[in-house]
Copies of this chain bind each other. A is one copy, B any other.
Amino acid sequence: MKATEPSQAGRRGPYAKSADRRRTIVTAAHAVFAARGYRSGSLQEVADRVGMSQTSLLHYFPTKRELLLAVLTWRDSISGDGAVLPDPEESLVDAVIRQARFNEDIPGVIELYTVLCAESVTDDHPGRQFFIDRFARLRISYAEAFMRMAQEGRLRPGVDPQRAAASLIALWDGIQTQWLFAPDSIDMAGSLRDYLRLIILPE
C-alpha cells in the first residue's frame, strides 16, 4: 500500500501501466498458446490481440520463452497451483468435485494446460521443467493427504498413498482431455467422485 508498491497505487508513473500491459499480454498469450500450442502460436497473433506491434510486445517479454513461462506461472497463480487441498471444513472429495465443476466453465484454461503439458514432454521445450516440478509437487501434496487419511483409518486397506496420488492426478488430466473432445459424453466430476469414493472409506 506504500509508495514502494507502484503497481497497487492508482496510475503512478509508468509502472502501473506497464504492469497492466503485461497482464493483458499474458492473457492474450494464454488464448493463443491454448489454441495453437507454444511452438506454433506466434508472437504476431498475440500482438494482434493486444493491438500492438510484434516488436512492442518484445519490449515487455524479450523472448517468446519468457512469455510462455509468464503464462504458466500466471495460470497457477490465479487458480491455485493445481493442488486442491483446502480448509479443514471441506472434505477432499468435495473440494475435488467443486474444482472439477468449476473447470467446466473455463475450457480455455483446461485446453491451455492440456496442450502445453503434452507439448512439454518433447525435448528442449521451455515448459518441460515447469511440468516436471508441478507433477512432483502435486503428487507429494495428494500423497500426504492420503497418508493422513490412512492414519485415521479412512483409506481403503491396500491402497498405496503414493500410487493413489499419481493415479488421481492422471485420472483428472486424462478425463479433462476426453472432455475437451466430447464434453457431452464425459462426466468429469462423476469420474473423480467415483474414484475417490473407491479409495476413501465412508466415515
Contact = CB atoms under 8 A, between A and B. Distances in A.
Q: How many monomers of this protein are in the complex?
A: 2
B121 A180 contact: yes
A191 interface: yes
Interface size class of A (residues with CB under 8 A): 35 or more
Contacts of A171: 167, 170-171, 174
Contacts of A172: 170, 174
Contacts of A199: 198
A179 B13 CA distance: 48
A62 interface: no
Tell me what chain A mostly uses at the interface: helix, strand, loop, or mixed.
helix
Interface string A112-134: 00110111111100001001100
Contact of A182 (B120, B132, B175): B132
The 8 closest A-B pairs by CB, nearest first: A170-B174, A118-B118, A174-B174, A39-B40, A170-B175, A173-B174, A121-B180, A167-B191
Interface in A145-203: 156, 158-160, 163-164, 166-167, 169-175, 177-178, 180-182, 185-187, 190-191, 194-195, 197-199
A139 interface: yes
Nearest to A174: B170
Contacts of A186: 166
Contacts of A159: 194, 198
A35 interface: yes
Nearest to A115: B118
Given A115-B121, A121-B177, A181-B132, A170 B191 contact: yes
Contacts of A175: 166-167, 170, 174
